[in-house]
Amino acid sequence: MFLRRAVIAFGGSAFAVFASVAVGKSGDDSGFLCPPIIPGRWDWNWDCREPMSLINLKPLEGCTEKECKLQEWRGWGILGTRTAVVVMVLASSFNKLHAVFLSTGREQASLTGQHLALLASEGNKFSCIIYSSLTRSTETADIISKNLPDIKMCSSSLLHEGPPIRPVPAESKWIPDLSYFKDGPRIEAAFRKYILRADPEQTKDSYEIIVCHDNVIRYFVCRALQLPPEAWLRLPLYHGSITKLVIKPDDDVSLKMLGDAGFMPPGKLTGA
């Protein structure tokens, strides 16, 4: 009780940080594993890459040239926009021994690859395909890559599927707190690694394809837009659909597509 009262005395924001870490085992706060979001207030340094935050200003204290230097550094190299095109994995069914990929799923991935190739021809010059190393995602990425030859491919276990945070409203199916405790930090780490503004040295726009699973994608969208991450379950997605997040140099983040599957025939849509 003493610790709780001491934290409250420092104000609401400090208590929110404490609560997100300490409540843990009981109530709707269990599984809350990412920084709290204050509604209506945009954090311009959400990825800790705001240019001025990367500069040690202490040596300029009392310097008459400080303002000139600040103006110079504010424009330091931040010319490139980073675009993450996130693809949901193809559909599959499962037998007792292993995942069996449906022909529909393969067709979905092929259609997605063709559409991404069309986007590439219109100026989206993709530099790499980053994919979850689980089987469904790996096969999806392989099929997509046939339409985008000579693009670097890289797998990541951070992008594996899992429950990122306890959703609000709650799921109809009960999931133990342990699942959120194990998978939540990993999915948050994936967000911090792959959804961020361009490096200061980047002067041209960049485009990356990320192939992963629906829970991960939905969580990425909520975090990138600084929406309550507990809302992730409210965003249904089709298999093979495309979600496009654009992160500009000034750290303005916009959602250009969410689960776009308009390039697929209606009979091929599954998942949402």
Structural domain contains residue 192: yes
| The pLDDT of residue 95 | 42
Structural domain boundaries enclosing 125: 82-268
Structural domain contains residue 6: no
Average pLDDT, integer, range 225-235: 95
Structural domain contains residue 12: no
pLDDT digits (tens, 9 = 90+) for 140-159: 999 999 999 889 999 999 99
| The pLDDT of residue 261 | 95
SS3 string of the chain? CHHHHHHHCCCHHHHHHHHHHHCCCCCCCCCCCCCCCCCCCCCCCCCCCCHHHHCCCHHHCCCCCHHHHHHHHHCCCCCCCEEEEEEECCCCEECCCCEECCHHHHHHHHHHHHHHHHHHHCCCCEEEEEEECCHHHHHHHHHHHCCCCCCEEEEEHHHCCCCCCCCCCCCCCCCCHHHHHHHHHHHHHHHHHHCCCCCCCCCCCEEEEEEECHHHHHHHHHHHCCCCHHHHHHCCCCCCCEEEEEECCCCCEEEEEEEECCCCCHHHCCCC
196: pLDDT strictly greater than 50? yes
Structural domain contains residue 39: no
The CATH number given to whatever domain includes residue 90 is 3.40.50.1240
Percent of the residues in the chain that have a pLDDT greater than 90, as a whole number: 51
Structural domain contains residue 37: no
| The pLDDT of residue 67 | 55
Structural domain contains residue 3: no
Structural domain contains residue 49: no
pLDDT digits (tens, 9 = 90+) for 168-192: 998 888 899 999 999 999 999 999 9
Structural domain contains residue 228: yes
Average pLDDT, integer, range 20-45: 55
Number of domains making up the chain? 1
Average pLDDT, integer, range 54-78: 59
